[in-house]
Structures are given as C-alpha cells and as structure tokens.
Structure 1
Amino acid sequence: MRVFLPTVFTLLLCLFVDPAAAANIARGGSAYMGCTATLSGILYPEDSEAVSAYFEDSDDAFHVLCLDSPGGSLSEGIRIGDILQERGVPTAVGRNAECLSACAVLFLAGLEWFNDGTPPLPQRLLHAGGRLGFHAPSLTVSEGSFTQEQVSRAYDIAIATLAEIGARKADWKLSDSLLTTLLRTPPSEMYEVDTVFKAALWGISVVGTAYPANNSFLNAAEACTKDYAHRRETGRVARSGTPIGPESRSGYEPALVDDVYNGVSIRLGGFGDEGRFETCVVSFTSTGSSGLSTEKQAARAIDAWGGPNWFARVDWSGGDVTFMLPSMFFPSATPLAAIAAPMDGQYMSVETARFLRPDIDLTSSGRCTVWRGDQLADNERCNQSHLRTVSPKLVYTDEKVFTWPSGVETVIKSVNFEPTVNGRAAKVVWDWEQPATIAGQCWFNEFSGNTFCFEPS
C-alpha cells in the first residue's frame, strides 16, 4: 500500500502498480467466511469514498468485509479502517486470498458492535489457507534535486501518517506488540501471521482448519497457554514475569471434571505468577458415552453456537470466558498452512503430535563437580546434553546427561519437576542453600548423600 505525499515523495507499503488495478468493492464473497462484500485490488486515493458509498447504499443489517489486496495507499487504508470501525464491520481473509501491507492495517479495524451496550469486540478472521502480512512503510524519493523544505515537508507527512495508526490503538483495540512489530519490520520484508501462536497472540481468529484428533491434557494446555498470552497482551491480566512466546507452555495438575453446565471438561492450573495463579477450564460440550470425541464435539459445537468453527469454551478463574477455535489446540509453532482443511465446512482431524518437537539443547561443555558436604570429591571437565519432552497426559520430562572424560554418565532426570540423579531420588539445591565454595546448578542425591553440580563454561 502507499500513502501519497506531495510531488516526488511517496510513502509506500507496496510496489508501484498500474492505477487501473485500483481496489474494487463488490457484494458477496466467500460464503464460508460469511462475507457480505469483498474489497479487492490495490488501494488508491479516494477508494475510501467508494467503500463508504457501498455501505451507505447497502440494505444488509450486518456486514463482513472480505479482503484480497496486496496493499497500496497507507492513508487510504487507514480511512477505510475508520469506516469499518465506525460501522462495526468484521474483516476476513479467505482461502487463497492475501491481505498485505496497507490491507493488513485496515484488516485490524475489524470490529463487531452489539445492540445491548456490550463494548465492541475485535472480529478479524483469517483462513488458514489465506495470507496476512505486515511491514513498515518506506519513503521513496524519485530522482532529482530537492530543497530542504520539500524534504522536511515530506518527512513530516510520513511521520504524521505513521502516528495515525498509533492514534487508533484504543478505537481499533490494537496491542503494543502488534504496533511495534508493524513498525519494526523493514519495508523490504514481510511479517506474516503464519503460525498458530502469532494469530492467537493478537486475537486473530483462524478458521478453515482441521480439528485436533483428540482432546488430550496437552492440547488443552496449548489452548489455555495461547489464550492466557492474548489476555495478557490485551491487558485483561496483569503483566508478569512468566515467559510468553511460541515455545512457552503453562498448565499443571490436569484433571477431568464434569461441568454441570458445559459437560466434560479439563481443568488446568498454573497460569500466571506465583501467588496469583489462574485456573483454566476447557469445556467440550460433549457428554455421555461420547466422552471427548472431537468429531461429536465438532457437530455439537455447530448445533450449540451456529457456526462451523467454534470448538470449545474456556472459563478462567479470573472470570473471563473465551470460545475456542480448533487451531488453538495445536502446538504454538504449527504453520497455519499445515492445518488448512482441504475443503471448508467438513470435519477433518489431524494428530497434533505431528507438530510437537522435543526441546533439545545443543551439547554444551563445562565443569562437573561432586561434593560430600562442603568437601570436593571430584572435579573434571564434562559435556552436557539436554532434552525436554511433554506427553499427551501433560507429563513434563527434563533429562540432562553429563558425560565425564572417562565416558561415565551422570543423568539428572526430572518428571513433573521431581528430579532424580542416576535413578535415585534427589532435590534441587538452590543458590541460597549452597556453600560459598560451590558454584553452578546443583542436585542433592538423597541415596548417596553427595551433591552433583554443573557449571557451564
């Protein structure tokens, strides 16, 4: 997309193209995405007038605008976004469609207003087979000589246009990290919303996906972790020191519960910081002998909520309620294209384990020591290999193998944070418990009475 500046300066978010390819808004679009209209082509000045005229003339009581555009005028994208925000028009990017640069900015204006006084909610749909990408605009200067006044004026307009996006943070309900990512991505690159985590963090609803083949504790933890990340991103829970990212996962002490209102459910604890942990209850709307069957659950979800995508409900102990899409139950790093269903509106299941990879640390070197009380019994160089895994039942296993020069191995294995040393019960020795002479990470072997420590190089 581009914002047009005076004379020779142009703020761009896409390549120059033939104006004959200017954006067009037409009635209809993907029925699966619920589109009442589709905006396609490159955004040029005055396209917002055509969009405004379309909605003024439309008799539809409710709108969903599908988008298929490589970008164009940034300022025009912002104007169209204002029109959508004021009218409460959700946005959508369907299968095989793309929404890049300026189009991605107006996509963020998708909101749904309610007649009962409920505050508007972001409503931005992305098909797993579609493409959504952001980057910062660039100031392009044609050849020639320019006065300092011309350059200063162009620069001021460019900065003012960027500030217009930030000024809409509250009205469009944009997060800080989204704005930062948009502005930090160089114009020559594209930050694509192409994984489950990227979409979940910013509240972009991914549709057109396969369903998880089962409703394991691990899959429920994946969904709750991403929803907690979004809640923290949008200020619904306090900022904390808990890592939030595509490699993070929270949730412990899983249990099956029978919710009298919501049917078979999975309860997980451990979201947030110590002292203010939240509990997440994932309800699947399937009862009786069907248990946690995802196929029956998908059919029930359609009956219960009237759409092909909502899959489960999450209730937080803090009071929030979220309706979950199937994509939320896949590992965070799962590529959206990998779980796009071949046909819309049909049930298809995929094993989430296909996208779960062990967290393997590369071998590192350091110094291994063995202590008897505060007396050093052994001290040699050694190598460490580290492997972390998690099972469908949400059993966390952390295994560190330390290889001594002789080839002998010391194995520290923790299952659900309970450590052993060479198969014997052990406990972590924290820094404040160690004598001043002992350095590194240490474990006390309750069988031998020795303390093993590793200090990385």
Structure 2
Amino acid sequence: MLFRHLKARGSVLAALGLNLLVALAPRADAAEFLPGGDAELGCFMTIRGQIVPGDAERFRDALTKSIGTNPYRDNPDFIARFDGGAGTVVPRICLDSAGGSLAEALRMSDVLTNRQSERSSLNTAIGTAVAAGARCHSACAVLFMAGGSESEGPAGRLPNRVLHAQGSLGFHAPGLTIPDGNYTAEAVDKAFTVAVRSIGELSDRQADLRFPATLLNRMVATPPQEMYVLSTVGEAAQWMIDVVGLPHPARLTRAHFVNVCLNTQSALMPATSYLESYANRLDGPDSGFFAGRRLGDYAEGLLVRHYNRGVLKLALGAPGDFGTASFVSDPDPAEDGLNCEATFGGIWPQANPLADNNRRLAVSFSRGGVMFLDQAAFYPPWTRFADLSREYGTGALQAEATVWSDSRSVNTRCIVFDANDTLTDNDACRAVETARFTGAGEMVVTLSFTWPSGAKTVIGLDGDQTINGNSATSDYIAAASDLGDQITCLRNSASGNAFCFDRIRF
C-alpha cells in the first residue's frame, strides 16, 4: 500500500525500483533495514534498531537491492528530477534508533557521502528523516546528518535532513565502553582512545556531512550519560535541519521575516552576542529565557531595533497563488549586525512543503554569507517546535495564537507621582515579567505589578507603551531620580499620573 502511494505521487521514488527492496535478515543485535517508511517524508527505507559493527556493509547491500548498481540505466535524469523539481519527493531514509557504535555510524555516513568511492553515485543523492514518534539519538544522529545531495556549484554538498516536530533527535559525546568489572588502566586507556578517535573521525568528516562546528561543540560538551535533544527552531536553523509537522502563519507579516533574519544570524555570524541565547539553552527548566537580564531593556531593544523596523514587499496574493516576498531590515549593522535581506518565492501556503524545494527562504547579510531555510524559520528562534506542533497541528496559525511565552517574577518597588509630580505611593511590590510571541510573528512584552492591596498595574511594551490599557509615554521626574539611579517612569495619558518602578531589579 505504501509503495502504491509513493508511486501515485509521480515522484522520483518510482525510479528507485522499490519492488526490489527486501528486508535483510539482521543479526539479533544489529539494525534492521526495512522497506518503506513515512510516505510524507519520502522514505523508501527505514533503519531501525541498534547500530553495531558490520551494519555499514549491510547498509550498502540494502541500498544496492533497492536502487540497483546502475541508476542511469532506466532513468538518466534522476538526479535532475528529484533536486527540487515541482511535485517531486526527495528520496529519504527514515531513522529510528537509540544509537550504538559511533565508528560504525560514521562508516554508514560514508555510504551516503561517497567518501570511499562507493559503488553507486546515487547514494549521494539521498536524504535522511526522523518521523513523528521516532527517535534518532547518539550515533544515529550522526548518521542523520549525512543526508544530502551533491550540487554542481561551489556550495558542494547540500544538506537534506528532515526532522518531524514530533520526532526526537539527540546528540551527546561518545562514552567509554568498558566490560563490567574490568577497570584496569589498560582497559580505560583503550576505551578512551576509541572515543577520542571517533570524535577525530567525525571532525574529519565535517565538510562532507555539513556538520557545523557549533553542533560538534554542543555534542562534545554533552556527557555520554545525558542527551542534548534538539528542541528549538533556532537550533534547527543554524544546524541546517528542516523541521516539518508545524502550522504555517495564516498571514505573513514583516515580523515573520524578522524572525527569519534572527534565525539565520548565529549560523552566518556565530560571534554575535545575545541572539545566540537560544543555542545556549537559557530556556531550560531551571531558568527562564530572560533570567539574568533586564527584561525591559532587552525586550525594548528587540522591539525597537528589529520588530518595528525593516521594509517588506509582499506579493503572494491569495492562497495558492505563486508570488514573491522580500524583506530588508535596516538596523545599524555596527549596533547588532542584523542588517539582513530575506526573500521567499512560490505558493503560499505550501500544502506540502516536502513536495518540492523545502528550503524556499534565502537570506543574505551585508557582511557576507548566504543561507537557505525552510518555512519553520518564520517562527522566533526560541520557539519549541514540539510544543507548537502539539498545540496547533499543521493547519493555519492565527495571529492571536501564542507561539512561545516565558515569564519570571521579581520583588521591586511600585511608585506613583500625580499629575503635579507629587509622590503619592512608594510600596514594595511583586512584578511578573512576561514575553509572548504571537501567530502574527510579533513580540508582546508585559510587566504586571501587584501592590500589597492586591491591585495590579500592567505595563505593555509591544511597541506602543501602555498602562492598564491606556497609552503611556516615558517621562523624566526629578523627584523620582532622587529615589535611585534606575527608576523608570511612564505617564498615564488617561489619569495624568506617572507610574515608576525600580528597573535595576529587572
């Protein structure tokens, strides 16, 4: 049934000779090479189970049985047809494995990158995928990074690796494998040498695999007994991994293209500062995204420098129309280095982004570098894609939906001056700071102050400042400056009163 479905799509998978693919009888502890897989991801083969020595040769044999030794015999234009042609599905291998031997996974990756002049050049035109509900951890994740295709241009090998938002992709450093009860210095030294050699071999293959240095650093820094599971849009973007199974924005806005630029910056310019925060995992369970920062300063900086600036030209028309979109940001590159140009062309919304070229977003920077992204990049870098997929599915995401949110509370002081700048209140209070990104791509920041009486004062910082829903403007009050160097005041347009708070606590 799966094979009939794949062929009915008119895709290049029919050229693979799927009827020739048979499941190879595996060893009890070895990976299985099974026919078929997730049809939407274009999988003609699934590798399932532990990766053990000898699996690389069995992998070669499985590909030979499914593809043949002469891919040009019946379909000479195979490579040209699957490389982004309209209506095609790129042939991929689905992975579902907890890991195993890193050295063997590297040898299996060589089969896909033709590192050892493999028997079929067609092997180098195959992508990898992790389907919904599947996991690809440890050594399997390294094999996942081998998915791609060779280009005829200077870009060389182009990544083709797809992670479903409800799949799991995890990395960690290789461990020391020592038999139980045997802890001699010789055994430990041998195991350590094997682990270090595997890292060296992976480093030697970085260019072949398009394995970014930042990902290698993250992998080595994660202890063998732990797992760094990919979780955010920003991580996927900078490590050139497509994420599918997500909703699409119902209507594209300028803010969505700002998100594209933010997602790209750390990959093109890894020395940039605060925009790397999503890769540093500051949004873990023990600390909020804004922990250790002054939220007001940080949020206003984002709003002013990014989300409220830039020029968007949108000509996508009604759903289903072919069109183009272009965005040029205008922050001072000396200030934060964003200065980004992004373009998108094609049908919006994409009914099935995997049916043709998934990486439709092109981004360039004035300081150099070009990068291509999939449409997941329309969401802010710290968006947790599994949560987004679980909450909203794969349909249209409306403007008011919450894409990502985070908050923390602090103790501060709530201060009020009347219209004549006379101090009327100065009490200890509790403040909750919240940042929320919406389906419209925008960032909404609120500071909610709770007075000892239980009354609340809510400040909005989403471009236009507000106090309890009324417009507000920043104001300098001399008497407030006497209360501290970090006192910030906003004047309520409705009451004329000024609300002030101690910003140093943020």
* Residue equivalent to 2:350: 298
Check if 1:349 corresponds to 2:396. yes
Matches of 1:360 and 1:104 in 2, distance apart?
32
Matches of 1:83 and 1:350 in 2, distance apart?
40
C-alpha distance 151-107 of structure 1, shift in aligned 2 (>3 A) = same
Select which of 336, 361, 365 maps to 2:386.
336
Native 8 Å contact 1:369 1:378 kept in 2:
yes
Select which of 110, 119, 126 maps to 1:82.
110
Shift of 1:44: 1.5
* Residue equivalent to 1:239: 272
* Residue equivalent to 2:489: 443
For residues 181-200 of structure 1, what are the structure 2 equivalents within 5 Å?
A: 181-200=218-237
Select which of 20, 26, 46 maps to 2:54.
46
C-alpha distance 150-133 of structure 1, shift in aligned 2 (>3 A) = closer
Native 8 Å contact 1:194 1:337 kept in 2:
no
Native 8 Å contact 2:403 2:437 kept in 1:
no
Native 8 Å contact 1:112 1:123 kept in 2:
yes
Letter aligned with residue 283 of structure 1: F
Query: Gaps (5+ residues) in structure 2?
Result: 1-25, 72-77, 80-90, 116-123, 284-288, 291-301, 317-321
Shift of 1:205: 0.9
Select which of 409, 419, 426 maps to 2:474.
426
Letter aligned with residue 59 of structure 1: N
C-alpha distance 175-252 of structure 1, shift in aligned 2 (>3 A) = farther
Native 8 Å contact 1:284 1:312 kept in 2:
yes
Native 8 Å contact 1:135 1:184 kept in 2:
yes
Check if 1:263 corresponds to 2:328. no
Matches of 1:349 and 1:198 in 2, distance apart?
23
Matches of 1:341 and 1:385 in 2, distance apart?
24
Matches of 1:340 and 1:405 in 2, distance apart?
39
Check if 1:251 corresponds to 2:288. no
C-alpha distance 148-77 of structure 1, shift in aligned 2 (>3 A) = same
* Residue equivalent to 1:277: 338
Matches of 1:423 and 1:340 in 2, distance apart?
36
Letter aligned with residue 298 of structure 1: Q
* Residue equivalent to 1:71: 99
C-alpha distance 211-162 of structure 1, shift in aligned 2 (>3 A) = same
Matches of 2:462 and 2:166 in 1, distance apart?
38
Shift of 1:380: 4.6
Matches of 2:135 and 2:472 in 1, distance apart?
56
Matches of 2:357 and 2:400 in 1, distance apart?
21
* Residue equivalent to 1:327: 376
Matches of 1:168 and 1:428 in 2, distance apart?
59
Shift of 1:298: 2.0
Native 8 Å contact 1:251 1:270 kept in 2:
no
C-alpha distance 153-190 of structure 1, shift in aligned 2 (>3 A) = closer
For residues 112-261 of structure 1, what are the structure 2 equivalents within 5 Å?
A: 112-144=149-181, 147-233=184-270, 238-245=271-278, 250-253=306-309, 255-258=311-314
Letter aligned with residue 461 of structure 2: S
Shift of 1:239: 2.6
Native 8 Å contact 2:133 2:168 kept in 1:
yes
Letter aligned with residue 110 of structure 1: G
Which stretch of structure 1 is more off in the superposition, 30-39 or 268-277?
A: 268-277
Letter aligned with residue 190 of structure 1: M
Where 1:182 maps in the other structure, the secondary structure is helix
* Residue equivalent to 2:433: 386
Native 8 Å contact 1:71 1:99 kept in 2:
yes
C-alpha distance 323-425 of structure 1, shift in aligned 2 (>3 A) = same
Instruction: State the Cα deviation string for residues 338-373 of structure 1 (Å, max 9, x = none).
Output: 527999xxx8434475443544332x223456799x
C-alpha distance 243-440 of structure 1, shift in aligned 2 (>3 A) = farther
Matches of 1:392 and 1:406 in 2, distance apart?
35
Shift of 1:76: 0.6
* Residue equivalent to 1:8: none
C-alpha distance 390-185 of structure 1, shift in aligned 2 (>3 A) = closer
Matches of 2:274 and 2:411 in 1, distance apart?
29
Letter aligned with residue 84 of structure 1: L
Where 1:141 maps in the other structure, the secondary structure is coil
Matches of 2:158 and 2:391 in 1, distance apart?
27
C-alpha distance 203-410 of structure 1, shift in aligned 2 (>3 A) = same
Letter aligned with residue 325 of structure 1: D
Instruction: State the Cα deviation string for residues 35-94 of structure 1 (Å, max 9, x = none).
Output: 454433322112222334555753336564332323221211122123323363432223
Which stretch of structure 1 is more off in the superposition, 46-55 or 406-415?
A: 406-415
* Residue equivalent to 1:416: 463
Letter aligned with residue 70 of structure 2: D
Letter aligned with residue 109 of structure 1: A
* Residue equivalent to 2:364: 316
What TM-score comes out, normalization by structure 2 length? Answer: 0.65
Native 8 Å contact 1:420 1:426 kept in 2:
no
Matches of 1:114 and 1:273 in 2, distance apart?
35
Instruction: State the Cα deviation string for residues 66-124 of structure 1 (Å, max 9, x = none).
Output: 32323221211122123323363432223444322211111122232113443222221
Shift of 1:381: 3.1
C-alpha distance 317-26 of structure 1, shift in aligned 2 (>3 A) = same
Matches of 2:416 and 2:201 in 1, distance apart?
62
Instruction: State the Cα deviation string for residues 391-416 of structure 1 (Å, max 9, x = none).
Output: 66666544434455577776654341
Letter aligned with residue 93 of structure 1: V
Matches of 1:205 and 1:106 in 2, distance apart?
16
Matches of 1:166 and 1:195 in 2, distance apart?
24
Instruction: State the Cα deviation string for residues 253-311 of structure 1 (Å, max 9, x = none).
Output: 2554256995355555549762643134443535xxxxxxx4xx426x87xxx935638
Native 8 Å contact 2:324 2:343 kept in 1:
no
C-alpha distance 252-53 of structure 1, shift in aligned 2 (>3 A) = same
Check if 1:92 corresponds to 2:129. yes
Matches of 1:404 and 1:279 in 2, distance apart?
43
Q: Percent identity?
A: 28
C-alpha distance 205-273 of structure 1, shift in aligned 2 (>3 A) = farther
What TM-score comes out, normalization by structure 1 length? Answer: 0.71
Aligned length: 415
